[in-house]
A and B are shown apart, each in its own frame.
Chain A
Amino acid sequence: MAANTSNANVLEVRDLVAGYGEVEILHGVTLRVGQGEMVAVIGPNGAGKSTLMKAIVGLVRPRAGRVILRREDITGLPPEQVVARGVCYVPQADNVFPSLTVQENLEMGGYLLGGRARERMERAFALFPELARRRRERAGRLSGGQRQMLALARALMLDPQVLLLDEPSAGLAPRAVEALFAKVQEINGTGVAMLMVEQNARAALKLAHRAYVLAMGQNRLEGPAQELLASEEVARVYLGE
């Protein structure tokens, strides 16, 4: 893995503070994602992992801190603009448009592409053949695993620089999880940087290059994924062993 100097970082988050209403969830979180890296964020429930994602993509307005995409400061921009600049987000739940067909879902993913969406869509179908078979089916009728694939495909329509994944394996049967992670790795292999929040810490650490451990809205540990996987402290506290 090439050394990541700060200007090779695709995404940088510095001292991010965010919350809902009167409650503050993130108390100053810092992380970075390098070119082509897969970075995992693990930690106990309530650590603020989902809030972190939402604050980066603009669904939640940060109160302090910075989000930087390459050299550009995108802190606090509305989601439409963040996405247009190359950060795509796969939410944890409700991540497809249920009454739209698979094809229409992808069209929406590629909304900003206008006419060019068609060819991008064919590429998506090549990458996700199970979806190609179901182009005209309503997304609401897909199984859990298929839906996650669709959510992923939708987010990839814009060829993002960095992809945010919020607990992609949540609620999936083990076989679907395997398939999903295989796909995620495949996509990462094509050079898309990824930031993945996961409850399934072990699986995430196996996939990722680097990882951060978040607890109570603050950074706790960070390092190469292998190290964290082997670390006793992580195993004890966060992997529950």
Chain B
Amino acid sequence: MRGRGGWLTLAAFLAVTAAVVIMPAERSGWDWGGVLSFLAAFAVTVAIYSLFTLGLNVQWGYAGVFNFGVVAFFMLGAYAAAAFTTEPAAGGFDTYVGGLGPKLSPPFLQGEEWVPFVVGAAVASLMCGLLAYLLSFPALRLREDYLAIATIGVAELMRNVVVAERGLVNSERGLKGIPRPFYSFFSPDNYEYFYLLLALVVLALVFLATERAVRSPWGRVLRALREDETATAASGKDVTAFRRQAFVVGAMIMGLGGAVYAYERGAVSPDTFTHFAGTFIFWAMLIVGGSGNNRGAVLGAYVVWGLWIVSLQLLGYPLPEALRNRIFYIRDMVLGGLLVAVLLLRPQGLLPEERRVSIWVERLLRRPPEAVGARPSGDRTPTS
């Protein structure tokens, strides 16, 4: 199985890397300092987005929870971290609940440089976990496609709350001026490399933790559940409880991603959290990279974001104006087309799993032949 991933994966990886390195280099006149800075920004985004795809993988690839409302967790995590760490500007028009973080920092060990951010990230993560926990009670009883529709609704509702509740998080205006951890230690130029390091460390920790979890006794139950749900249920394991746990853990990872995103971005506002940019893109990344597969999740983020960067870079070249105006639409179309192509031609994605670990993916990609007339029933499992 590993061999099969081989050349196509390598080719994709190399193509993206080449494009991402060469295009800005060539355009900037081989100014390697600038290129390095650019690549750092690229890598940070890939790292942050990988957190989301990893979280989604835990939810879908491992527990079969079809979350089409990722952007709700993205938003919640980012806003929670932002509101926690940012003090509202005095005398301005901004109204929101926030700024608790800086007040909590201990004065020693340069407290205010890192404590609010760590606690803020924890708050973000916990709130997402709590949301997932509460949602799981109705959600896990729904059939997959109904769950998809319902989660879209959840995301929509979340955005409604942010915008409608004036005074909660500053509605449409959003939160600006979000501080950054350890910002005063570095010069602005060097800070982005530090943040890249930070993001990569977080990603590595999350990645290792999820890999460990999958191979732990808990993970083994999840895997047994995937292999044969009926048997696992019959052996006394509470199937719903395990799925709930995976749903919550995945959500917590997404919350963490939101926090890392907010600190890097410095500002959050409702219109950046669209269904396309906050849910669809992560699904596309996960499926292209290799669903049910942690390494695939990261690779997918790398490849798809590479596509994004390439389209931005193309603007630097002399293009007919009609084309130039439409670059982003073409990019979106290519992504949609890529997703459909992958589903049709190579549904396991770029990096297929080492062994058939995710029966959810297998099952969802190809149902076992049904008994004649098996109709998806109203309850959760539509398979034969």
Show the binding face of A for B, using Cβ within 8 Å. 20-21, 54, 59-60, 91-95
Contacting residues, chain A, for B374 (C-beta < 8 A): 94
Mask: chain B, 355-384; 1 = CB below 8 Å from A; 0 = not: 000000000000011011111000000000
Mask: chain B, 36-66; 1 = CB below 8 Å from A; 0 = not: 0000000000000000000000000000000
> Are B368 and A94 in contact (CB-based, < 8 A)?
no
A-B pairs with beta carbons under 8 Å apart, 22 shown: A20-B368, A20-B369, A21-B368, A21-B369, A54-B372, A59-B372, A60-B369, A91-B371, A91-B372, A91-B373, A92-B371, A92-B372, A93-B371, A93-B372, A93-B373, A94-B371, A94-B372, A94-B373, A94-B374, A94-B375, A95-B372, A95-B373
Q: How far is the CA of A94 from the CA of B375 in the complex (A)?
A: 9
Contacting residues, chain B, for A93 (C-beta < 8 A): 371-373
- Which B residue sits closest to A19, measured CB to CB? B369
Q: How far is the CA of A92 from the CA of B384 in the complex (A)?
A: 14
Assuming A91-B372, A92-B371, what are 10 further A-B pairs, CB within 8 angstroms?
A: A54-B372, A59-B372, A60-B369, A91-B371, A91-B373, A92-B372, A93-B372, A94-B371, A94-B373, A95-B372
Q: How far is the CA of A126 from the CA of B368 in the complex (A)?
A: 40
Q: How far is the CA of A188 from the CA of B373 in the complex (A)?
A: 26
Contacting residues, chain B, for A92 (C-beta < 8 A): 371-372
Minimum C-beta distance from A27 to chain B (A): 18
Contacting residues, chain B, for A54 (C-beta < 8 A): 372
Contacting residues, chain B, for A95 (C-beta < 8 A): 372-373
Q: How far is the CA of A93 from the CA of B375 in the complex (A)?
A: 11
- Which A residue sits closest to B371, measured CB to CB? A93
Q: How far is the CA of A95 from the CA of B372 in the complex (A)?
A: 8
- Which B residue sits closest to A53, measured CB to CB? B372
Minimum C-beta distance from B57 to chain A (A): 25
Minimum C-beta distance from B229 to chain A (A): 18
- Which A residue sits closest to B369, measured CB to CB? A20
Minimum C-beta distance from A60 to chain B (A): 7
Minimum C-beta distance from A139 to chain B (A): 12
Minimum C-beta distance from B313 to chain A (A): 44
Q: How far is the CA of A20 from the CA of B366 in the complex (A)?
A: 12
Minimum C-beta distance from B293 to chain A (A): 21
Contacting residues, chain A, for B371 (C-beta < 8 A): 91-94
- Which A residue sits closest to B372, measured CB to CB? A91
Contacting residues, chain A, for B368 (C-beta < 8 A): 20-21
Contacting residues, chain B, for A20 (C-beta < 8 A): 368-369
- Which B residue sits closest to A90, measured CB to CB? B372
Q: How far is the CA of A21 from the CA of B369 in the complex (A)?
A: 8
Contacting residues, chain A, for B372 (C-beta < 8 A): 54, 59, 91-95
Contacting residues, chain B, for A94 (C-beta < 8 A): 371-375
Contacting residues, chain B, for A91 (C-beta < 8 A): 371-373
- Which B residue sits closest to A51, measured CB to CB? B369
- Which B residue sits closest to A93, measured CB to CB? B371
Minimum C-beta distance from A167 to chain B (A): 12
Q: How far is the CA of A93 from the CA of B368 in the complex (A)?
A: 17
Query: In chain B, residues 331-377, which have Cβ atoms closer than 8 Å to a Cβ of chain A?
Result: 368-369, 371-375
Q: How far is the CA of A21 from the CA of B384 in the complex (A)?
A: 15
Q: How far is the CA of A95 from the CA of B371 in the complex (A)?
A: 11
Q: How far is the CA of A59 from the CA of B372 in the complex (A)?
A: 9
Q: How far is the CA of A91 from the CA of B372 in the complex (A)?
A: 7
Q: How far is the CA of A163 from the CA of B91 in the complex (A)?
A: 85
Minimum C-beta distance from B363 to chain A (A): 12
8 shortest A-B CB distances, which residue pairs? A94-B373, A91-B372, A20-B369, A94-B372, A93-B371, A91-B373, A59-B372, A93-B373
Minimum C-beta distance from B121 to chain A (A): 45
- Which B residue sits closest to A97, measured CB to CB? B373
- Which B residue sits closest to A98, measured CB to CB? B375
Q: How far is the CA of A165 from the CA of B234 in the complex (A)?
A: 33
Minimum C-beta distance from B60 to chain A (A): 23
Minimum C-beta distance from B246 to chain A (A): 27
Between B368, B369, B372, the greatest number of chain A beta carbons within 10 A of the residue's beta carbon is seen for: B372
Q: How far is the CA of A93 from the CA of B373 in the complex (A)?
A: 7
Minimum C-beta distance from A33 to chain B (A): 21
Contacting residues, chain A, for B369 (C-beta < 8 A): 20-21, 60
Minimum C-beta distance from A150 to chain B (A): 13
Contacting residues, chain B, for A59 (C-beta < 8 A): 372
Minimum C-beta distance from A80 to chain B (A): 14
Q: How far is the CA of A92 from the CA of B371 in the complex (A)?
A: 9
Minimum C-beta distance from A48 to chain B (A): 14
Contacting residues, chain B, for A21 (C-beta < 8 A): 368-369
Q: How far is the CA of A95 from the CA of B374 in the complex (A)?
A: 10
Q: How far is the CA of A54 from the CA of B373 in the complex (A)?
A: 13
Q: How far is the CA of A95 from the CA of B373 in the complex (A)?
A: 7
- Which B residue sits closest to A54, measured CB to CB? B372
Q: How far is the CA of A91 from the CA of B371 in the complex (A)?
A: 9
Minimum C-beta distance from B370 to chain A (A): 9
Q: How far is the CA of A21 from the CA of B365 in the complex (A)?
A: 13
- Which B residue sits closest to A23, measured CB to CB? B368
